[in-house]
């Protein structure tokens, strides 16, 4: 990989696609947790294994759940999906 800058457009929802070669170099995969930071007007992104203690924002909780789900066995995933589906059904009936 060369060190030439890569330019990307920010879409209407504020998203930027990280090119595959950069994701591969950073060992980023679908479902990984990333931490966004801002310093001196520059945005940084860093792959992390766990969220910071005490961060219970919806985004942090979702990232944690997605990372945990990725590491579960298929049987555990199916059990969790069944349980969550049951909770959603109960909520609809209430």
Distance, CA of 83 to CA of 57 (rounded, Å):
23
Nearest CA-CA partner of 23 in 41, 6, 42: 6
Digit-coded pLDDT (tens) for 17-64: 999 999 999 999 887 888 889 999 999 998 887 666 677 778 777 877
Distance, CA of 13 to CA of 6 (rounded, Å):
20
DSSP lists the bridge partners of residue 34 as: 47
* Cα-Cα end-to-end distance for the chain: 55
Pick 11 or 51 by higher pLDDT.
Answer: 11
Provide the pLDDT for residue 82.
Answer: 93
């Amino acid at each position: 990989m060369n060190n030439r800058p890569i330019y990307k457009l920010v879409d209407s929802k504020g998203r930027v696609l990280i090119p595959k070669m950069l994701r591969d170099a950073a060992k980023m995969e679908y479902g990984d947790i990333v931490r966004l930071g801002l310093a001196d007007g520059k945005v940084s992104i860093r792959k992390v294994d766990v969220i910071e203690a005490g961060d219970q924002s919806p985004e942090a909780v979702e990232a944690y759940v997605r990372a945990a789900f990725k590491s579960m066995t298929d049987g555990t995933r199916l059990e969790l999906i069944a349980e969550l589906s049951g909770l959603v059904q109960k909520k609809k009936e209430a």
